Amino acid sequence: MSPRRAPQPSPKPEISSEEKALCAHSALIDRRAVEPVLLDMRELTLITDYFLICHGTSNVHIRGLADAVVEALQQKNLRSYSVEGQRDARWILLDYSDLIVHIFAEEERRFYNLERLWSDAATVPVAAAGNT
């Protein structure tokens, strides 16, 4: 008779890219991000599924927004592949592979205008997608 093994916990199911994007969006809303926009990139590029774009009112606010997203996604056991721009806090990019979060200073957001650059992307109506 072989020894009985303790049941192993089942692996946590992978969160969908949409759920990830909505979680990050909610974190930005909670920290008063300015004009957050969620773009569905799935039909346009293989790089990512979603772009989440917003801006903050100061360098401290921008860093706080980035920290809020990182913290919210860490609670779901998700880690970013890369974080860029944290020191200067004029454009912080958080790369979660299927979600890329762009947190700008207002001037940089207007200058780079990613919403216009990717104007073929559908804007996700966040409230309709089940975000509260």
- Dump pLDDT digits (tens) for 76-100: 999 999 999 999 999 999 999 999 9
What pLDDT does residue 5 have? 57
Give the pTM. 0.85
The whole-number pLDDT of residue 4 equals 59
45 Cβ neighbours under 8 A, 6+ residues apart = none
Which domains occur in the chain, in start order? Answer: 17-127 (3.30.460.10)
Low-confidence stretches of the chain (pLDDT beneath 70) = 1-13, 128-132
| Residue whose pair of structure tokens reads 């890369």 in the numeric block | 82
The radius of gyration of the chain's CA atoms, rounded to the nearest angstrom, is 17
Q: What is the pLDDT of residue 14?
A: 77
Q: Which residues pair with 94 in a beta bridge?
A: 83, 101
